[in-house]
Chains A and B, each alone.
Chain A
Amino acid sequence: MVKSKKLSNISILTGIACAMYVVESFIPLPMPLPGVRWGFSNLPVLLSAVLDYGVLSCAMIAFGKSFIGGLLSGRIASATFFMGLSGSIASALFMGWLKKHAPKVGTIGISELGALLNNTVQILIAGLILGNSKAVFYYYPYLVLIGTVTAYLLAVVSNIFLRSTNHDAKV
Chain B
Amino acid sequence: MAKRTKKYDIFIVAAILLFAVIMIFLNLLLPQKGIIGVKVTVDGVLAVSITQDGLYPVEKDGKHLLTVEFYQGKARVKESTCDNQICVKTGWISNTNQTIVCLPHKIVVEPIGGKNTDGVDIITW
Contact = CB atoms under 8 A, between A and B. Distances in A.
Contacts of A130: 43-44, 101, 103, 106, 108
Interface string A136-171: 101111101100100010000001001100001000
A8 to B, nearest CB: 25
Given A78-B104, A129-B103, A168-B1, A138 B6 contact: no
A163 B10 CA distance: 20
- Which label, helix, strand, loop or mixed, suits the secondary structure of the B interface? mixed
Given A35-B103, A79-B106, A131-B43, A112 B8 contact: no
Interface residues of B, number: 37
Given A104-B6, A105-B9, A79 B24 contact: no
Interface string B38-78: 00010110000000000000000000000000000000000
A24 B44 CA distance: 30
For the complex of A and B, 7 pairs with smallest distance between CB atoms? A131-B44, A106-B6, A141-B23, A135-B99, A34-B103, A144-B20, A32-B89
Given A104-B6, A109-B8, A168-B2, 8 more contacts: A109-B9, A109-B12, A129-B106, A139-B101, A140-B23, A144-B20, A145-B17, A148-B13
Interface of A: 32-35, 78-80, 104-109, 112-113, 116, 126, 129-132, 134-136, 138-142, 144-145, 148, 152, 159, 162-163, 168
